[in-house]
Amino acid sequence: MNLSEIYPYKFTPIYIEKIWGGRNLERLFGRELPPDVSIGESWELADLDLGASVVSNGPLAGTSLTELTRRFGAGLLGSAKPLDNGRFPLLLKLLDANDILSLQVHPDARAAAEIPGAALKTECWYAIDSRDGYIYKGLAPGVGPEQFREGIENDTVAKLVRRYDLAVGDFHYLPAGTVHAIGPGLVVAEVQTPSDTTYRVTDWGRGREIHVERSMQCIHFTPVDDTSPGAEGDTLLVTEFFTVSRHAVGPDAPYATPAGRCVAVMLLDGGDVEFRHSGPVEQLTLAAAGDTVVLPASLPGGSIRSSTGCSFLEITLPASA
């Protein structure tokens, strides 16, 4: 392993146009977005057939996340394992909702095994920006399959799901099988398992395809514990797939990242952020609010420092998977 190739990696965002998207990543983070389109998703860290992130800094600039995972294996992932297809086991996005997303659901392991081509998708959202934003998450108490199907047919399904108003800093866990939607006025950081399998319950009359039968197959109609397991102190969520924590550091107060673990950092605010390490070949990585940086498990003495202070989400892969 060439030591000069082990350093904190930044990646070029992959922008996805959506009918519900907007331009708020320009306003919040100074992004240069593709002109004249509504950007709904920025894939910050992705390794899917539909798009794979590419390193944008240092000696490995131009290398895909697919190739990093193949070449470095445990040097990148630690004791976590790649997916069965050899790809990176995490997907990170920024979502900009200027209109409501479809009411939708993702399959759990059981449903994914039953549906050809489907993949489990569990996710969580952290609200970065809210302009009277809200989400739908989970069924209203007592709602069963028959009543829910009638709500789809009668276009009254919004009355059968729970609504939450969101402020900046609010966090929600959405385990697979949870029916949900993001309402207008929100920008969220999304941490999820690497799957793009989505079934729409309703698209609010916009004419896109809906998937009633697949949705009914996936939705959990028994009560689902959607509280954040393992939440304590800075830790927001612990799942078998990833752990999410939120940290804030003061000006010039270095934060030591977890040793021996693959860590992804989504910067929420702050400027002049430096990612350093104690390896023999120094590769200083500079970042700012809105950036996502990955620190390989084999990186020695990783740390984060900002002259102005900063806050960030720290996403770690499990010690074993």
Residues identified as active-site: 200
- How far, in Å, CA of 165 to CA of 194, rounded? 27
- How far, in Å, CA of 10 to CA of 169, rounded? 24
How many CA atoms are closer than 13 Å to the CA of 308, on its beta-carbon side?
Answer: 10
- How far, in Å, CA of 315 to CA of 125, rounded? 12
Quote the Cα angle for 90-163-110, to 5°. 45
Handedness of CA 242, 248, 252, 256 (dihedral sign): negative
Sequence letter at residue 117: G
What pairing do the DSSP bridges indicate for beta strands 263-269 and 255-256? Answer: unpaired
